[in-house]
Amino acid sequence: MVDAWLAVLVIALIADWWFGEPAAIWSRFPHPVVLFGRAIDEADRRFNRTQDDALTRGRRGATAIALLVVLAVSAGLAAQWVFGLFGFLWWVGEAFIVFVLVAQRSLIDHVRAVSYGLGRHGLDGGREAVAQIVGRDPQSLDKAGVARAAIESLAENFADGVVAPAFWYALAGLPGLAAYKMINTADSMIGHLNERYADFGRTAAWLDDVANWLPARLSALLIATGAGVLHGTAAGWRAINAALRDAALHRSPNAGWPEAAMAGGCDLALGGPRSYGGATVPQGFIHAAGKRDLDAGDIDRALRVFTVACYGLWALVALLWLL
C-alpha cells in the first residue's frame, strides 16, 4: 500500500505545483483545514475553562487534542473507505485530498507577492504583503526586516506545509496526513505561551514538535541540496553547516533547521530580534556572517532554492516508489 501512496503523492505534489489552491471550490465549500479549525475552536470553547487551575487546564488540553486527533484519523479512514468504493480510481480522490493539503504553490505565490510589493511599491508594499504570512508587527519592519520575514516564512513553511504533510501521507496514508494537519493547525491556534493557552495548549504544541522533528531536518537537507544545485557545492555545505551550528538559536526546536539551511545556502543572516504585539522577542542571528541588508532580490534567490528543494522532494518520493 505504501508504494501506491508514494505514487499518489508524486501526482499530488506536481498537481499542487502547477494548479495551486482551487479557489473556485473553496469559495463554495469549506477547506478541510477550515473544518479542522472549527473543531479546534469548539474544543477550546468546551474544554478551556479559565477558572480551572493550571494542572486541570493542562489535562483538559491533552484530552481535547487527543479527541481531535482521533476525529482526524477517523475522517482519514472514512475518506479512504469511500474512495475504495471506486475501484482502481481510488487514487483520484486520495490525490485530490493530498493536493489540497500541501502548500507549495500557495506558499511560493504569497512569498513572491512580498518580493513584488517590496520591489515595485517600496517598503509599504512589502509590509502589506508580508502581513499576510507572518505574525510579527509589519510596521516595525524595515526593508531588510520585510525580506527576512518572508524568507524565514518560506523556509519554515517548506517544512511544515510541504515536507511534513508529504512525510506523514507517505508513512500512514490519509489518516496520517489528517492527523498531522489537525496537530499542526491546533498548534497554530492554541499552542501559544500566553495566559489562555500556556497550559491548555501545551500538549498540542508538544505533539507538533514531535510530528515535525524528522520532516524539519529532512527539509534542511532538501534546501541544502537546492542551494548546492543552484550555487555550487560550497553553498550546499554552507547550508548544512549553518543548520548544524545555528538551528538551536531559534526558539522552535524544528523551525531553526530549514531557516538555518536557507540562511547558509543563500549566505544571508536570518533571525535576530523581532516584534510581536508591541513586545520585542530577542533572538540571535542565524548564519550571522551572511548578508544583513536584505532586499527583494534576496527573496527571489530564496524562492529559487525553494523551487529546487521542491523538485528534490518529488525526486525523493519517486525514487522511494521505484525502489
DSSP 247-290: GGGSSSTTTHHHHHHHHHHHTB-EE--EEETTEEE--PEETTTS
Q: How far apart are CA 263 and CA 64, in angstroms?
A: 37
pLDDT digits (tens, 9 = 90+) for 149-166: 999 999 999 999 999 999
| Mean residue pLDDT across the chain | 94
The percentage of the chain sitting over the pLDDT mark of 70, rounded to a whole number, equals 98
In this predicted structure, what is the pLDDT of residue 282? 72
Res 281 pLDDT > 90:
no
Find the range with the poorest average confidence among 42-56, 203-217, 256-270. Answer: 42-56
For 163, which DSSP code?
Answer: I
Query: Which amino acid makes up residue 90?
Result: W
**Model pLDDT for residues 240-280, shown as the tens digit of each residue:** 999 999 999 998 999 999 999 999 999 999 988 766 666 66
Residue 19 predicted with pLDDT over 80: yes
Q: Residue 315 — pLDDT band, cuts 50, 70, 90?
A: very high
Which contacts qualify for 187-191: CB closer than 8 Å, 24 or more apart?
Answer: 189/37, 189/40, 189/41, 189/44, 190/40, 190/44, 190/48, 190/61
Q: pLDDT at position 140, please?
A: 86
Helices and strands in the chain, H and E counts: 12, 4
With beta carbons less than 8 A apart as the criterion, state whether 313 and 162 touch. yes
Q: Extract long-range pairs of 221-224: CB within 8 Å, 24+ residues apart.
A: 221/261, 222/158, 222/163, 222/309, 222/312, 222/313, 222/316, 223/155, 223/158, 223/258, 223/261, 223/262, 223/265, 223/305, 223/306, 223/309, 224/261, 224/264, 224/265
Side chain identity, residue 227: A
Q: Please say if the pLDDT value at position 79 is more than 90.
A: yes
Give residue 279's pLDDT. 60
Q: What is the mean pLDDT of residues 302-307?
A: 98
pLDDT in tens, 57-73: 999 999 999 999 999 99
- For residue 111, the model assigns a pLDDT of 97
The Cα–Cα gap between 238 and 132 comes to: 30
Query: Which band of pLDDT confidence, cut at 50, 70 and 90, is reported for residue 310?
Result: very high
CA 197-274-277 angle, to 5 degrees, is 45
Instruction: Write down the pLDDT at residue 280.
Output: 63
Instruction: Using the predicted structure, report yes or no on whether residue 177 has a pLDDT greater than 70.
Output: yes
Tell me what percent of the chain is helix, strand and coil, each rounded to the nearest 5.
75, 5, 20
The per-residue pLDDT for 136 is: 78
Residue type, 169: Y
Q: How confident is the model at residue 214 (pLDDT cuts 50, 70, 90)?
A: very high
Asked if the model's pLDDT at residue 116 lies above 90, the reply is: yes
- For CA atoms 289, 292, 298, 303, the dihedral sign is positive
Tell me the pLDDT band of 21, cut-offs 50, 70 and 90. confident
| DSSP structure class, residue 292 | -
| pLDDT value at 13 more than 90 | yes
- Predicted confidence (pLDDT) per residue in 99-115, tens digit: 999 999 999 999 999 99
